[in-house]
Chain A
Amino acid sequence: MTVKRKILIVDDEPDMVENTRLFLDHKGHEVLSAFDGEEGLRIARQERPDIILLDVMMPKINGYQVCRELKGDAETKSIPIIMLTAKAQESDKSWGKEVGADNYVTKPFEMNDLIQKIEDLLKNRVVTADRPGEQFSFPRNRL
């Protein structure tokens, strides 16, 4: 059985968001959506989702920038982020890691693959949440 999670999906392709929303909704999760980086940042801060699915290529602020913002902010740094990347190149993977992303999936992805990665990350979070102190850190300077 799955626990109901609050999942934020940020992507400038509304159809993409809709597909993912339908699927996750079907799996019993609560899905929030944002269609560009700014909106994504705002909703993430407001709603504190359990996990964020973040597209890389977006107008205004791209996914890497959003990721870096959230990971640099003590308030949101513990929220796991999965990057949705269209390129499967080594440079993209390592750049994702650089800005603090927790995992990535390459488009086009299998929905089941996505849900697996979501579950894995949230399971880990429960483990780390059991160890208080890990969650605590001094606010870092913004990068």
Chain B
Amino acid sequence: MERLNIILVVDDEQVIHETLDRIFEKSDFTLEHASTANQALEMIQRGYGTVLTDVRMPGMDGIQLLKRIKQLDPSLEVILMTGYASMESALLATKYGALAYLTKPFENPEVVKECVTRAVSLQRDHHKNEQLYDDVVKGRIDELPLGGKIQKIPFFGSSAQQISRHLAETLNDGLVFLDYDGVVTFSNIRFAITCNYPFLDILGRSFLDFVAQEDREHFMHSIGILLREGRCPTVELRLITRTDVEVFVLLNAVFLRDEQNRFNGIMLIISDVSQFRSVQRRLELLAQLVDRAKFEAILIYDENGKIIDCNQAASEMLGLSKGVIFGKNINSLLNVNEQEVEAKTTKALLESYVSRPDSSSIPVEIAISTIQEIDGNKYRGLAFVRDITELKKTERMKNEFIGSISHEIRTPLSIMKGTIDNLKDGIMGPLSAKQIGSVEVLNRNMARLIRIVDNLLDMSRIESHKMEFKPCAVDVVSLVGEIVTECQRVAQEKDILVESLLPEGLPTVLADSDLINQVVTNLLNNALRFAKTKIVVRGAVSSAEDGNDLRTYLPAGGHGALKRLDTRFVQISVIDDGPGIPKGRIGDLFNKFVQINRPEGGSGYKGTGLGLAICKEIIERHHGKIWAESDVGQGAKFHFCLPIIEAEL
């Protein structure tokens, strides 16, 4: 029987041997059995098609056995078997070169058979390649299976001396010959460069002189293996250069034999890997830092959005082990959609939530970084996910506080307002001109106080998402038209001309008309405060390509039968000829509690610094955009856009 059809089974439990015997009873394979790893190592010299080994065994365990086998014969495939299947140990196993991982008890004998067949066929391929190589070198083959003849290989036609010299001079690795005492008898130039010694100083020196103190024992051990077993695994060592610099190298040691096949020394092949080593060190350090990052969960995903790595914090936040997280889709795990992710990759943070297995959910803030592949289409990404439970809680408390305080303030305010109204209306008897003046001051400031409280209430409602939002198809142009008409009286009192350039027949938008009314009124009131002579109100259709970085998304499942069919917007602009706003401060305009002091104008009226912030919230709620253009002395232009939405039939 061919040795490759014999499988070595290593397990301390007799029942597993019996089970496997039954599984392979009527197959091409024969089994040989070992009950410990050490026994297996002794048997391995006989040659096997593959090795099936238990992981947990007394004495040497399966992982150690796997490592030893891979050192002795890298081409021999090993299959691990274990009673407890965990992703971690499976990953560990593949890291050390196991071909596969089987869980006991074997539920499906076919899987076991398939696994073994594959392992043996890999081993067979390997043997075949070795055989073919030998045939070619020894000139036993000259016909090629794909047609043509094997060319004369330059090396094999020349003398051994020539080959050796050519190799020694061109090899990018250090080449060192040692005699039986470990003294260097030959070195190529590459090695002299690596260890920075004059060539002649290398010859005749013990090789141990070049090896870092700490690694000498390790080196001797490897040479020991070589002498005992005929070959030894690649070892990683530090060499010490003449200038005392450590150089990381990979070292391969082989026997040298003379024509009579007698031992003639050792040849070392030495590759300088310090460059890779330092990159690897940095990567390892970075990976450790990423893994230990406490406050942010970090997820790395490939071009298909499949998660390929994550840190400990991610595993804790999601309540899932890393093994379970790997392979999941980043978008579904973070409850975001692809468009959102794409749009936010540049700067802004994305708010979302993650669901945990205990069916609780955590509000999170996500920052995305992506690396574009060279072809430009696919990208890999990194998602930083931060738990914002506390932040949300504080925000909610703040909103509730503002809400309840505002409410408490309204009651005394209403009473005071009533009293002032009564005084003003002469209900408490006729007032003198001076008294009327005082009541006017009271009245004006009462109005201001009420406005502040109303704005605070609005803001807290919007931020706590308690704002009533009932969108329907709205002819925004006629809505704006009505508001413009309403403000004409006040404008005339101030000698300001309000020009309305609102074309008829613009498409309808999906909007809550009360809220849009609030926005337009606010913009017009602002304009009336600052305009010198003229205000222009404009309406137009604009498209996303018009610039202004308009990005809107269909609200996820939000508006029932209404569907966005158009990528265009209705744009409303309110333009005044007032003192304008310094360009650098435009960005602040829509922030809460910010008031830009515009030179001149605006006398007697003080805002709350909330008006535009409320406008922004309202417009964004509509998936629209609001922005301003201005500079000192150039008036101010305020624009907002609402997406055109048509009802789906």
Chain B hits for A87, CB < 8 A: 407
At the interface, yes or no: B361 with Cβ under 8 Å from chain A?
no
At the interface, yes or no: B413 with Cβ under 8 Å from chain A?
yes
Chain A hits for B450, CB < 8 A: 108
Chain A hits for B415, CB < 8 A: 13, 15-16, 19
Output the nearest chain A residue to B461 by Cβ-Cβ distance.
A89
| Chain B contacts with A in 405-426, Cβ cutoff 8 A | 407, 410-411, 413-415, 417-419, 421-422, 425
From A20-28, A29-37, A38-46, A72-80, the one touching the partner chain is A20-28
Which of B410, B422, B470 contacts A107, CB < 8 Å? B410
At the interface, yes or no: B468 with Cβ under 8 Å from chain A?
yes
Chain B hits for A89, CB < 8 A: 461, 468
Q: Secondary structure at chain A's binding surface: helix, strand, loop or mixed?
A: helix
**A13-B415, A89-B468, A110-B421 known; A22+B427 contact, CB < 8 A:** yes
At the interface, yes or no: A129 with Cβ under 8 Å from chain B?
no
Q: Secondary structure at chain B's binding surface: helix, strand, loop or mixed?
A: helix
The complex places the Cα of A111 from the Cα of B468 at a distance, in Å, of 27
Which of B413, B422, B461, B468 contacts A108, CB < 8 Å? B413
Question: 0/1 per residue, B447-474, Cβ < 8 Å to A?
Answer: 0001000000000010000001010000
The complex places the Cα of A90 from the Cα of B427 at a distance, in Å, of 34
For this complex, into which size category does the number of interface residues on chain B fall? 10 to 19
At the interface, yes or no: A109 with Cβ under 8 Å from chain B?
yes
Chain B hits for A16, CB < 8 A: 411, 414-415, 418
B407 touching A19, Cβ below 8 Å? no
At the interface, yes or no: B428 with Cβ under 8 Å from chain A?
yes
Which of B411, B421, B428, B461 contacts A111, CB < 8 Å? B421
Chain A hits for B470, CB < 8 A: 90
Which of B410, B417, B421, B428 contacts A86, CB < 8 Å? B410
B414 touching A107, Cβ below 8 Å? yes
**A107-B410, A108-B413 known; A23+B468 contact, CB < 8 A:** no
The complex places the Cα of A68 from the Cα of B276 at a distance, in Å, of 82
B407 touching A20, Cβ below 8 Å? no
B419 touching A19, Cβ below 8 Å? yes
Chain B hits for A23, CB < 8 A: 418, 421-422, 425, 427
B414 touching A111, Cβ below 8 Å? no
| Chain B contacts with A in 379-426, Cβ cutoff 8 A | 407, 410-411, 413-415, 417-419, 421-422, 425
Output the nearest chain B residue to A27 by Cβ-Cβ distance.
B427
**A16-B418, A89-B468, A111-B418 known; A22+B411 contact, CB < 8 A:** no
Question: 0/1 per residue, A95-120, Cβ < 8 Å to B?
Answer: 00000000000011111000000000
Excluding A16-B414, A22-B427, A23-B421, 13 further A-B contacts by CB distance (< 8 Å) are A15-B419, A16-B411, A16-B415, A19-B418, A19-B422, A86-B407, A90-B468, A90-B470, A91-B468, A107-B414, A108-B410, A108-B413, A108-B417
In the A-B complex, list the 3 residue pairs whose CB atoms are closest, starting with the nearest.
Answer: A19-B418, A108-B414, A107-B414
